[in-house]
Amino acid sequence: MTEGISRRRMLGIGAGLGAVTVGGLALSAGWARRPAATGAELRSEVPLPEAFSVPLPIPPVLAPVESTAEGDRYEIAQREVEAEILPGFSTRLWTYEGSFPGPTIESRRGVQTTVLHRNELPVPTVVHLHGGRTPAASDGYPTDLVLPGEWSEHSGHVGHGMADDRAVVTNVQREYGFPLDQRATMLWYHDHRMDFTAPAVWRGLAGMHFVRDDVEDALGLPGGDHEVPLMIADRAFDADGQLAYPSLDPTLTGEPGVEKPYLAGVLGDVVLVNGAPWPAHEVDTGLYRLRVLNASNARHYELEAVTDGGEILPLVQIGADQGLLAAPVRHDRLPIAPAERYDLLVDFGGLPIGSRVRLSNRLGTGRTADVMRFDVVREGTSAAVPETLADDLPEWDRSEAAVVRDLAFRAGRLDWDGSVGAMIRDFDPDKHHGWLIDGLPFDPGRADVTARFGDVEVWRLIADVHHPVHVHLVGFRILSRGGGEPLPHDAGLKDTVSLRPGESAEIITRFDGYRGRYLFHCHNAEHEDMGMMANLEIV
Ligand code: C2O
Ligand code: CU
Ligand code: CU
């Protein structure tokens, strides 16, 4: 570890988190009821469209440039474009292949998917396939930068001031290889650059990636236009109709971090679904499969589908982050934290033509209480929800655990001791706070958890405020929450667990697939950028 890393890291975190922490803890009872309060909400400065006046876009499916016995090859250019998000305004976006969300990739289980990403943006980028069982070299480690063309000559200091001898930096482009030998599910790809993930994703660097398999096919679930991907993300717009974000350095090349009021997370006042504000989508009276992703930086939602007659339509959950459940779970409302995905069936059968079903957000206030609307416009054919789904869920038992670890996700002063002595030489406890895991901010040079390949481990996670905790490479089961049983939406195989204020949860997994350096972190993207990330070495 070098002093350069930690000094810059601590300064980057900046002053002011103390107030948030104190306020957060003081308010934690209130936050438990209103968990959307992680962060401050930006207010848009342009007139916003009427809800449900814009049609729901469906992101294009990317065609491979080559399909052979070895697998499918794709190419994605990361580039800036202008797009109409709010009607009548042109908004500059950072995109994968010109669209936000980026193009959807469709893969079969076990068929190698190779994606050549070309960086035409003005900053370095890193691509991570969230939820992918990916070899470490393609997992998008935050210092494995792809430099824009103009940066290539000064590759001497490309590590962002972070000395990381293991970083593999490439110029202009990089090929990411995804074996995708994993259960069918919805993954998503997004930027993961050191210190600047949150603003880069906010500008548009996120897309969906589906893995399909025979288990799923055998169920005959709704497909085609009856399977609808929904990427939910909040944003705010400035007086020119550009995306607003409180970066300390809007070029995203210098000082990382956000202005003080937003240190707990950045929230927008506009809810986008597939890049459209509060859209409407026409459906028939059939059964629909909704693939829902919360790609927001910090906003939590609690989804509810309500008819114009005030009737709640059940959200029948058939899958979690990492694929199908054993059996469907019916919810009247469903909380979704940043980075979580749900695979849902919703039956519009029995509703008269002309009915409208709002997907609303019970954690929102004012306009953020709405998400989108389904308009029932024609007769469809109904289908039944299968009674059982998948029988290949791993059933790890606590008794198998080689290690039980405690990991605390908390804001606070750096809790240093001799082992990190060098890094805190100039530490000023009145100024330097951060989002920390076990008292430490992220440092690429430190192995926080070293797990033996093949071992089952139990992790006991504890949080101060809301922290959606994500582990790379593996799926896990939730064993307990708050010392009791998991909640109904905790079923299945997960890669992100939403810890509520003051809450603990136990997760269990087996570290297999690949060896190497991976990450776990809070997926509140601002917390992640401001230190709440750690290394997972699988050896
Ligand atoms: Cu979706 Cu490490 O992230
Ligand atoms: Cu991930
Ligand atoms: Cu967090």
User: Given a cut of 70, is residue 395 above it in pLDDT?
Assistant: yes
Find the range with the poorest average confidence among 102-111, 142-151, 419-428, 496-505. Answer: 419-428
Ligand 1 within 6 A of 198 CB? Answer: no
Atom 3 of ligand 1, nearest CA residue: 130
Mean pLDDT over 181-198 rounds to: 98
Find the range with the poorest average confidence among 37-46, 191-200, 366-375. Answer: 37-46
List, in order, residues 6 or more apart from 67 with CB less than 8 Å away.
73
> Residue 351 C-alpha to ligand 1 middle, in angstroms?
39
Residue 431 confidence (pLDDT): 47
Residue 433 confidence (pLDDT): 63
Give the pair of three-digit tokens for residue 31. 């936050």
Atom 1 of ligand 1, nearest CA residue: 130
> Residue 171 C-alpha to ligand 1 middle, in angstroms?
23
Residue 400 carries which DSSP code?
A: G
Residue 175 parent element (H or E): strand 173-178
Ligand in nearest proximity to the CA of 190: 1
> Residue 212 C-alpha to ligand 3 middle, in angstroms?
31
Mean pLDDT over 59-83 rounds to: 98
> Residue 10 C-alpha to ligand 3 middle, in angstroms?
17
Find the range with the poorest average confidence among 102-116, 255-269, 299-313, 325-339. Answer: 255-269
Residue 20 carries which DSSP code?
A: H
Give the pair of three-digit tokens for residue 502. 């003051």
The rounded distance, in Å, linking the Cα atoms of 531 and 438 is 11
User: Given a cut of 90, is residue 382 above it in pLDDT?
Assistant: no
Percent of the chain beyond pLDDT 90?
Answer: 82
Radius of gyration in angstroms for the set of CA atoms belonging to the chain, rounded to a whole number: 22
> Residue 431 C-alpha to ligand 1 middle, in angstroms?
28
Ligand 1 within 6 A of 470 CB? Answer: yes
> Residue 192 C-alpha to ligand 1 middle, in angstroms?
7
* Buried/exposed 495-529: b ≥16 CB within 10 Å, e otherwise: bbbbbbbbbbbbbbbbbebbbbbbbbbbbbbbbbb
Give 384 or 160, the one with higher predicted confidence.
Answer: 384
Ligand 1 within 6 A of 519 CB? Answer: yes
List the one residue out of 209, 200, 199, 191 whose CA is nearest residue 127: 191
Ligand 1 within 6 A of 521 CB? Answer: yes
Give the pair of three-digit tokens for residue 147. 């430099």
Residue 244 confidence (pLDDT): 98
User: Given a cut of 80, is residue 402 above it in pLDDT?
Assistant: yes
9, 338 contact by CB (below 8 A) = no
User: Given a cut of 80, is residue 175 above it in pLDDT?
Assistant: yes
List the one residue out of 263, 203, 258, 206 whose CA is nearest residue 235: 203
Mean pLDDT over 403-414 rounds to: 86
Residue 217 confidence (pLDDT): 97
Residue 128 confidence (pLDDT): 98
User: Given a cut of 70, is residue 327 above it in pLDDT?
Assistant: yes
Give 277 or 18, the one with higher predicted confidence.
Answer: 277
Confidence of residue 150 (pLDDT cuts 50, 70, 90): confident
CB neighbour class for 381 (10 Å; exposed up to 12, middle 13-18, buried from 19):
exposed
Place of tokens 């000082």: 255
Percent of the chain beyond pLDDT 70?
Answer: 87
Q: Which atom of ligand 1 is nearest to the CA of 339?
A: 1
Q: Which atom of ligand 1 is nearest to the CA of 528?
A: 2
Find the range with the poorest average confidence among 150-154, 268-272, 354-358, 442-446. Answer: 150-154
Ligand 1 within 6 A of 413 CB? Answer: no
Phi, psi of 123 (to 5 degrees): -130, 160
The rounded distance, in Å, linking the Cα atoms of 296 and 340 is 10
Residue 28 confidence (pLDDT): 30
List the one residue out of 138, 174, 366, 404 whose CA is nearest residue 271: 366
Ligand 1 within 6 A of 17 CB? Answer: no
The rounded distance, in Å, linking the Cα atoms of 253 and 415 is 28
Ligand 1 within 6 A of 527 CB? Answer: no
The rounded distance, in Å, linking the Cα atoms of 86 and 5 is 40
User: Given a cut of 60, is residue 332 above it in pLDDT?
Assistant: yes
* Buried/exposed 110-122: b ≥16 CB within 10 Å, e otherwise: ebbbbbebbbebe
Mean pLDDT over 232-239 rounds to: 98
Q: Which amino acid makes up residue 262? A: Y
Give 36 or 102, the one with higher predicted confidence.
Answer: 102
For the chain, domains (ranges, CATH) are 7-41+394-538 (2.60.40.420), 66-218 (2.60.40.420), 224-378 (2.60.40.420)
The rounded distance, in Å, linking the Cα atoms of 295 and 439 is 27
> Residue 437 C-alpha to ligand 3 middle, in angstroms?
9
> Residue 523 C-alpha to ligand 1 middle, in angstroms?
7
List the one residue out of 438, 281, 416, 294 whose CA is nearest residue 357: 281
The secondary structure of 306-327, three-state, reads EECCCCEECEEEEEECCEEEEE
How far apart are the two ends of the chain, measured CA to CA in Å? 20
Residue 39 confidence (pLDDT): 74
Residue 127 confidence (pLDDT): 98
Mean pLDDT over 309-331 rounds to: 98
List the one residue out of 94, 92, 87, 97 whose CA is nearest residue 59: 97
> Residue 37 C-alpha to ligand 3 middle, in angstroms?
12
Ligand 1 within 6 A of 522 CB? Answer: no
Mean pLDDT over 293-298 rounds to: 98
> Residue 220 C-alpha to ligand 2 middle, in angstroms?
29
Report the SS3 class of residue 263: coil
Confidence of residue 151 (pLDDT cuts 50, 70, 90): confident
Confidence of residue 411 (pLDDT cuts 50, 70, 90): confident
139, 518 contact by CB (below 8 A) = yes
Mean pLDDT over 511-536 rounds to: 97
The pLDDT mean for the chain works out to 89
Give 151 or 463, the one with higher predicted confidence.
Answer: 463
Phi, psi of 495 (to 5 degrees): -125, 0
pLDDT digits (tens, 9 = 90+) for 22-58: 222 322 322 333 333 467 899 999 999 999 999 999 9
User: Given a cut of 60, is residue 448 above it in pLDDT?
Assistant: yes
Residue 4 confidence (pLDDT): 35
Ligand in nearest proximity to the CA of 263: 3
Ligand in nearest proximity to the CA of 189: 1
Mean pLDDT over 391-397 rounds to: 96
Phi, psi of 241 (to 5 degrees): 80, 10
Task: Give this prediction's pTM.
Answer: 0.91
User: Given a cut of 50, is residue 5 above it in pLDDT?
Assistant: no
Q: Which atom of ligand 1 is nearest to the CA of 188?
A: 1
Ligand in nearest proximity to the CA of 466: 3
Residue 412 confidence (pLDDT): 73
Residue 40 confidence (pLDDT): 84
Ligand 1 within 6 A of 206 CB? Answer: no
Residue 330 confidence (pLDDT): 98
User: Given a cut of 90, is residue 323 above it in pLDDT?
Assistant: yes
The rounded distance, in Å, linking the Cα atoms of 73 and 186 is 19
Ligand 1 within 6 A of 318 CB? Answer: no
> Residue 470 C-alpha to ligand 1 middle, in angstroms?
7
Strand partners, 129: 189
Tell me the helices (H) and strands (E) count for the chain, helix number first.
6, 36
Residue 127 parent element (H or E): strand 127-130
Strands 433-437 and 323-331: unpaired
Give residues whose Cβ lies within 5 Å of ion ligand 3: 467, 522, 524, 527
